[in-house]
Amino acid sequence: TGSLAVVATPIGNLGDITERAVAALKQADLVAAEDTRHTGRLLQHLGLSKSMFALHDHNERAQVETLLDRVEAGENVALVSDAGTPLISDPGYIVVRRAHERGLRVLPIPGACAAIAALCVSGLPTDRFVFEGFLPAKAAARRSRLEALEDEARTLVFYESPHRLMATIDVLVSVFGPERPVVLARELTKAFETLYAVSLGRLQAIALADPNVSRGELVLVVGGAAEQVNSEETLLDTDRLMRRLLQELP
Ligand code: SAM
């Protein structure tokens, strides 16, 4: 019989595709993708031409049985999202759940995930953490979600979009206080990769002063309730270009 492979793809740098992901895509009879044009470009980069199946938040429930009928009929289906690991703030949960209910084979092809990449370079405790995904879009709901997390001792990981970053930092400062440590991880694995490891209050000031801070793809990693900022606040700017330029200076 066929199988459903949950295949991680890069979060920016195409070099992060794994050998097993390439093999799974090569062997797939069908590629279920969030955005078929986006995934089409990845397949083209890999020199592959594949039948595709559009699977996004708006049709996942309606399409799940059709997709799984094909696995049951013996096809190998590769499930991918636009970037990183499917199901992590991306479609796929309904399909994987139903695949188990239907007794179908589900196999993981692990790889990049922005949350894990950001957490692991944050310098904040990694032994226990909570992934919160995107905060609610509406201001009242986002505040109450954060209020519920006020005493959370584990490191918190959030995804955020550029146009909401400033508002989210403002409410983080107001709920968690300006002293709480935070790491803003921007454009991970890409040309303008930058890490800001500061306090919430300092991040607020930095983001206000420089609109570039909120550009691109962003992960916020927030220290748990008991975390203190290092006495010497550090601003880790890993913008590769800047580092290289600085190295050139006498
Ligand atoms: N499934 C993906 C994963 O495994 O990371 C996440 C998909 S979610 C729709 C997209 C969000 O992930 C972005 O808004 C951003 O918060 C985060 N993200 C994705 N790529 C990123 C990158 N290269 N650098 C920083 N954050 C990234």
Model confidence pLDDT, tens digit, residues 153-193: 999 999 999 999 999 999 999 999 999 999 999 999 999 99
pLDDT computed for residue 239 by the predictor = 55
DSSP 50: -
Q: Which two tokens stand for residue 214?
A: 């909120």
The number of residues making up the chain comes to 250
Give the end-to-end CA distance of the chain in Å, rounded to a whole number: 64
**β strands within the chain, DSSP E:** 3-7, 30-33, 52-54, 76-80, 105-109, 129-134, 155-160, 181-186, 194-199, 218-222
Q: Is the CB of 83 under 6 A from ligand 1?
A: yes
Model confidence pLDDT, tens digit, residues 103-119: 999 999 999 999 999 99
> Structure pTM?
0.91
Q: Is the CB of 31 under 6 A from ligand 1?
A: no
Model confidence pLDDT, tens digit, residues 60-95: 999 999 999 999 999 999 999 999 999 999 999 999
Give the CA count within 13 Å in the CB-facing half-sphere of 15.
5
Give the CA count within 13 Å in the CB-facing half-sphere of 79.
29
Q: Is the CB of 55 under 6 A from ligand 1?
A: no
Q: Is the CB of 194 under 6 A from ligand 1?
A: no
What is the C-alpha separation between 62 and 55, in angstroms, rounded? 10
Q: Is the CB of 160 under 6 A from ligand 1?
A: yes
Ligand 1 closest atom vs CA 190: 23
What is the C-alpha separation between 141 and 151, in angstroms, rounded? 18
DSSP 136: P
163-202 core/surface letters (b: 16 or more CB in 10 A; e: else): ebbeebbebbbebbeeebbbbbbbbbbeeebbbbbbbbbb
The torsion angles phi and psi of 235, rounded to 5 degrees, stand at -120, 100
Of the candidates 242, 246, 240, the one whose C-alpha atom is nearest the C-alpha of residue 13 is 240
Ligand 1 closest atom vs CA 193: 24
Cα of 142 vs centre of ligand 1, distance in Å, is: 19
What is the C-alpha separation between 237 and 221, in angstroms, rounded? 16
Model confidence pLDDT, tens digit, residues 187-222: 999 999 999 999 999 999 999 999 999 999 999 999
Q: Is the CB of 60 under 6 A from ligand 1?
A: no
What is the C-alpha separation between 167 and 178, in angstroms, rounded? 14
**What residues are paired with 144 via a beta bridge?**
none
